[in-house]
Amino acid sequence: MPLDLRSFLGEPPAPWRIIAERKIQEWIDDGGPDRLPNKGQPLDLTDNPFVPADLRMAFRVMKNADVAPDWIEIAKEIEVELSRCREAARRFHDGHRRDRILMRGAAADAVPPIRERMRERAARFAEEQRARYRQVNRLIDRFNVACPVAHLHKRRLDLESEVSRALAAPPGATA
């Protein structure tokens, strides 16, 4: 008795195939294709190739519901916080620039209070900026826990180097 290779290739045996084809033909004759939901509408076959296979269905449902995964929402929060840090640094440097302009035209006895105000502003800014960067680091920790893709994880910020960078004069500024 020869070996039937069709059984290894996944084809159903002949009697099952005949029954299946008969059922499909009956369905077509009864108008089955005309009763399909969303008939005539294009299929959305765009799958993100970077989404792991076990998460694709969940991500598709979330996309259709206009909901983003937690880690994407957290990444947006991180960007908002970092832009707040940059804006605070711009305001700080604007205040310093105004005081430097005042010192150029000020009398000698008016310069020490301006310098003291600049020192106080720098100390206050540094402490506020540290608090902002601590918040960013908390968000980064949440992001790294929630993000399913390891190579997308974010590095925590080094508070002191970020604060010293923010305190440094912006490019093009003159003392």
Q: pLDDT digit of tens for each residue in the chain (175 aa)?
A: 455 555 556 665 677 778 888 888 888 888 887 887 777 788 666 777 777 888 888 878 887 888 888 889 999 999 999 999 999 999 999 999 999 898 888 888 888 998 999 999 999 999 999 999 999 999 999 999 999 888 999 999 999 999 999 988 665 554 4
Question: What is the rounded distance in angstroms from the CA atom of residue 153 to the CA atom of residue 170?
Answer: 29
pLDDT at 93: 93
The reported pTM is 0.61
Question: What is the rounded distance in angstroms from the CA atom of residue 38 to the CA atom of residue 61?
Answer: 17
pLDDT at 11: 62
**Helix ranges (DSSP H) in 106-167:** 111-146, 159-167
Question: What is the rounded distance in angstroms from the CA atom of residue 87 to the CA atom of residue 129?
Answer: 11
Q: Are 62 and 110 in contact (CB under 8 A)?
A: no
Domain ranges of the chain: 1-34, 70-167
Q: For residue 130, with 0-12 CB atoms within 10 Å meaning exposed, 13-18 middle and 19 or more buried, which class applies?
A: middle
Token reading at 54: 């076990």
Q: Are 126 and 92 in contact (CB under 8 A)?
A: no
Question: What is the rounded distance in angstroms from the CA atom of residue 89 to the CA atom of residue 83?
Answer: 10
Backbone angles phi, psi at 47, to 5 degrees: -105, 140
pLDDT at 44: 67
